[in-house]
Amino acid sequence: MKVAVASGKGGTGKTIISTALALAWGRTALLDCDVEAPNAHLLIRPEITGREIVTRLVPRVEEELCTHCGLCAEFCRYHALAVLPKRWMVFDELCHSCGGCQIVCPTDAIVESSRPLGELVTGHRDELLFVQGILNNGETQPVPVIREVLGRSPEDRDVVIDSPPGASCSMLTVAAAADIVLLAAEPTPFGFHDLKMAVRAIRELGRPMAVVINRSDWGDGSVRRFCDDEHLPVLLEIPHLREVAEGYTRALPLTQSAPHLTPDLIRLRAKLQALITEAAA
């Protein structure tokens, strides 16, 4: 099964939970799809065995062929092109690599050029397979990098995905590729609002959901009530534990900083599996 661990906002223990599940379940894969701020490696500490550049195609012009007719810019719905009487300009950061400008150009003046977008890092820690996507600084399109990471998802084992936070297009790309979405929630009013947004977006996708409440002894219980009202199964509540906070600052995964939670984490696997089966029925 593929489990996406998501959250309404960052800092709700999403990475602590995804790494802990992957480590507790044994032969798994952890895909870090939080490509704008990947940090699962800090807790997994994998041995890195591969690094590849992820590129995407952007248009360039052969000036001597360009008549500055402007058809390409007119076609580009992302306004990534500007055609002036004597200049042809492209704004790579706006381009979505659709290739359309090249097709509409009547003089074949446009050529495709590949541009680095990010990196794909692979490695392992014992039996755990690790894949991480990194979006280069200044790039604004995480989705192609996320798709590359998801493309490395193995079929022979359970896969835990550290999803991007929030109800973004990135998060939904990950949720759509998963069998179930496990939301890491925190009972603070701010996190609560973001959680509602994420739940709404994932529900529209039709993916089953479950919740882990982190620091469950904080707040006024409204997150718990929300989950009950929305029929969101709360599979685990982790109270605020000093050893977890300390472990995190020392880059220790939950399985090491609070080993007494490991049986709960292992049981979570069967519960998720049951929810997937139920949703499919």
Partner 1 sequence: MKVCVTASHEGIDAPVDDRFGRAPYFVIVDTETLETTSIANSTVNESHGAGVSSATTVAQSGAEALVTAHCGPRAFDVLNAAGIKVFAAQPGTVREAIEAFQNGVLTQLAEADAPAGGLRR
- Torsion angle of the four alpha carbons 93, 96, 204, 275, in this order, in degrees rounded to the nearest 10: -90
Provide, rounded to whole angstroms, the least separation between the CB of residue 85 and partner 1. 8
Instruction: Work out what residue 89 binds among ligand SF4, partner 1, none; the CB cut-off runs from 5 to 8 Å by kind.
Output: partner 1
Identity of the residue, 71 or 241, whose beta carbon is nearer to partner 1 in the bound complex: 71
60 binds ligand SF4 (CB under 6 A): no
Residues 78-117 contacting ligand SF4, CB under 6 A: 78, 80-81, 83, 88, 90, 95-101, 105, 107, 109-110
Identity of the residue, 29 or 81, whose beta carbon is nearer to partner 1 in the bound complex: 81
Identity of the residue, 71 or 261, whose beta carbon is nearer to partner 1 in the bound complex: 71
Question: Burial of 108 by CB count in 10 Å (0-12 exposed, 13-18 middle, 19+ buried)?
Answer: exposed
Identity of the residue, 85 or 206, whose beta carbon is nearer to ligand SF4 in the bound complex: 85
- Torsion angle of the four alpha carbons 268, 272, 275, 280, in this order, in degrees rounded to the nearest 10: -160
**The binder of partner 1 chosen from 37, 53, 65, 82 (CB under 8 A):** 82
CA atoms within 13 A on the CB side of 145: 32
Q: Please, which residues have CB within 8 angstroms of residue 131's CB and are 6 or more apart in sequence?
A: 29, 30, 31, 32, 120, 121, 122, 149, 152, 153
Q: Please, which residues have CB within 8 angstroms of residue 67's CB and are 6 or more apart in sequence?
A: 106, 107, 109
Contact set with ligand SF4 (CB under 6 A): 59, 61, 66-72, 75-76, 78, 80-81, 83, 88, 90, 95-101, 105, 107, 109-110
Contact set with partner 1 (CB under 8 A): 70, 73, 78-85, 87, 89, 91, 93-94
